[in-house]
Amino acid sequence: MCCTGLLKTMMFIFNGVIFLAGAAVLALGIWVKVDSGSLMAFVGSIEGAPAGLDQLANVSYVLIGVGAVLLVIGFLGCCGAVKESRCMLLTFFSIVLIIFIIEVAGAIVLFVFPDLAVTLLRGLEEEVRKDLSENYGKEDSQVTELWDTTMEQFKCCGFMNYTDFEDSPFVSNSSAYPPTCCENPTSEVCSLGAATNSEIPGCFYKLVEFIEDNSVIVAGVALGIAALEIAAMVVSMILYKDIGRKA
C-alpha cells in the first residue's frame, strides 16, 4: 500500500510537470501564431523565401500540436493516478508507447543515415542562393535583415561563401559585400578582394559544425527522455495492475 502511494505521488508529480510544460508550449505556439511580429511570422513573410525555409512559419502549428499532446498526457497521468482510473492509465501508457516507438524509429533513421541533416541542408542550397542573389540588398527587404542577423551570429558569409552575393542588389548598388564577409566586420567597405582573401566560411558549414558540436548533448537529452518515458510506462502499468487487483 505504501509502495502504491509512492508510485501514485511520483506519477502525479511527473505528469504535473508534463502538464505545465505542455501548457507553456501550447501558449508559445498560440503566441507565435497570433503575433505577426514574431520570428516565425517574419520568416513566413519573406518575399521569395526558399522552399523549406518558409515552412518555419508553420512551427506554431507544431508547437500547438506538441503542447496539446503534452497536456493530454499530463492530464491522463495525473487523473489516472489520483482517481485510480484504469482506462486513463491504459490510455496514458498507449500514447507514451506510441511516442517512444516514433522516437526509436527516428533514432534508427539518424543512425543509418548520419548525414541526413547535412543532406537536407544541401537540398536547400540552390534555392537559398537564388534567394540571396535576387533579394539581398533590396530596399526594405526582410531577406537582408534575416541574413544579416544570421551571419553576425554565426560569423559566416552567405550560404556557401561570399560568391552567393555576386548578382545581388546589394553588390550591384554598392560594389561591395556584406561586412561579415571580411575578417574585419567593422570595416565600412568589404571589397571583392577583401572578401576573397578573408575566406569567411559559409553559414552552411557553420550550421553543420553547430549540429556536430551539439550532437552529444542532443543524444544525452534524448536518452534521458527515453528513460523517463520507460519509467512512466512501467509505473503506469504497475498502478494499472494494482488497481485491477483491488477491483
* Per-residue model confidence as pLDDT tens digits over 170-221: 998 888 899 889 987 555 688 888 888 888 999 888 888 887 787 778 778 8
**How far is the C-alpha of 6 from the C-alpha of 194, rounded, in Å?**
67
Do 82 and 9 belong together in one domain? yes
DSSP secondary structure string for all residues of 17-80: HHHHHHHHHHHHHHHHHH-TTSHHHHHHT-TTPPTTTGGGGGHHHHHHHHHHHHHHHHHHHHHH
Do 68 and 134 belong together in one domain? no
Do 9 and 52 belong together in one domain? yes
Report residues of the chain scoring pLDDT below 70: 1-2, 32, 35-59, 113-118, 120-121, 123, 185-188, 247
Interacting residues of 141 by C-beta distance below 8 A, sequence separation 6+: 47, 135, 169
Do 182 and 92 belong together in one domain? no
Number of domains in the chain: 2
**How far is the C-alpha of 173 from the C-alpha of 162, rounded, in Å?**
16
Do 104 and 7 belong together in one domain? yes
Cβ atoms of residues 118 and 112 within 8 Å: no
**How far is the C-alpha of 76 from the C-alpha of 58, rounded, in Å?**
28
Question: Residue 131: which domain range?
Answer: 125-158+162-200
Indicate yes or no: pTM above 0.85: no
Is residue 133 situated within a structural domain?
yes
What pLDDT score does 38 carry?
47
Do 167 and 77 belong together in one domain? no
